[in-house]
Amino acid sequence: MRELGIEGVSRLRKKVFTTQQDPDASRAPDLVNRHFKADRPDALWVTDLTYVPTRSGMAYVCFIVDAFSRKIVGWRAASNMKTEMVLEALEMARASRGGHRLVGLVTHSDAGSQFTSVRFTERLEEIGARPSIGTVADSYDNALAETTNGLDKTECVYGPDSSGWDDVDELELATLSWVHWFNEDRLHGHCGDIPPAEYEAAFYAAQVSSPAGVGIQ
């Protein structure tokens, strides 16, 4: 790597806290207990906020990740951390999954005020999902979402082609491109070194080729 002029990208950054707890909000129980695995798509989603400095001020990105395939099913970039941006990410996730109710889905997050808000909790109920909340200021309770945030910082925000961002609009375009690559082309060890989209396609193909009940005597 030294001879070719290649060097790794460090993930060590100055910490900015994006989890702002609402002391008056009721919290859902932790239904995940740090077990970030699922046996099918849309069984468990994890979500979190991360920050990105731009030359016009701080920007924030919310990702929603399917634990089965590690696919980013919804996201939103904004200049604030209001509940509205989280709801928009949720709507993108729901639309990407066909727009129907997702009965049985658990959506896990940290205890940030956006995720404990009445609006977010009610919207989850409307789409058939159950909320799950980890403890405050404990990244291990939402480790999968934190990992996705870290990959975004390493590969997109501070990646080799980045020279910083003018504003949230420029960041949004870059994030759009990165998410498409992440889902469709990036090889994931969790998926057996294939992209998340291919991993999910293989899962659904197996359901068609092996319908329930076949081979059972």
CB 162 within 8 Å of CB 178: no
pLDDT score for 138? 65
CA pair distance 58, 78, nearest whole angstrom: 9
pLDDT at 216 over 50: no
pLDDT score for 9? 59
Q: Kindly report, residue by residue over 137-171, the tens digit of the pLDDT.
A: 567 899 999 999 999 999 999 998 889 999 999 99
pLDDT score for 7? 63
CA pair distance 100, 128, nearest whole angstrom: 9
pLDDT at 215 over 70: no
Residue whose entry in the numeric block shows the structure tokens 């100055």: 14
**64 to each of 48, 57, 121, how far by Cα in Å?**
7, 24, 15
pLDDT score for 5? 67
Query: Which pair of structure tokens corresponds to residue 119?
Result: 């609006």
pLDDT score for 17? 46
CA pair distance 147, 139, nearest whole angstrom: 10
Question: In the Cβ-directed half-sphere of 143, how many Cα atoms lie within 13 Å?
Answer: 8
**Averaged pLDDT for residues 100-115:** 95
CB 54 within 8 Å of CB 171: yes
CATH classification of 44-173 is 2.40.10.10, yes or no? no
pTM: predicted TM-score of the whole model, two decimal places: 0.85
